[in-house]
A and B are shown apart, each in its own frame.
Chain A
């Protein structure tokens, strides 16, 4: 078994590993770097649960080899919050009940972050098309769309350090 040495950036940190060429990026993240926020939901590259950003472009991390990610910059769900402060998308998914079991959520949030970076003010239809590669078996998508709308509004607002006042987090 031959391994190859790779170096890449994950959530802003340079990481290195010796990997078999057949190792998938999602397994590098989960099994080697022990960052289990990125989920695996299928064997067929259909579900999007494993979505991360690779050089800013959303990708299914089960459909990229770790060796192909060499030299690239990866962003995962673990890179979204700022310490204890949730990212606007994470907060919005909480506020709007954008998740039930939560299995699809990391991929959904990474895909939504890609969408909002390209289109800060998407229509309802553009949001639905933007998450067409991410399956959710629980929510029926309505609250996911609402959450992305909320986050879009917040992210568009002029930079302010005030925490979003309403609606109160339900717990």
Chain B
């Protein structure tokens, strides 16, 4: 997340199930000199848009939530003028990671980043951090 280093203000949206994780992150970030504000979800899209619009230029938006509501916030943030690089969506380490098979293009859902075998073509895969927003994997 090197792109974020010089930015100081972070608006964090989190739904109940992620609050602990989000708060933990806030502690870390505050120590690193970031100003964080946590908004707990659900939140109406009007309210979200209003909060987003109030953020100073260069702020960041972090979203801790499941896919659908995360997308709604992301959409609101894009409408409010945030660029893709300024929005980060929780890819929880407890959830499965989607790994794109470099040989057969099958997307495997796995829980660790160790070497594993693609469930479709059985080639051995050693996951890298090359991430596609398009394939979400």
Q: Tell me if chain B binds chain A.
A: no
A residues at B contact (CB < 8 Å): none
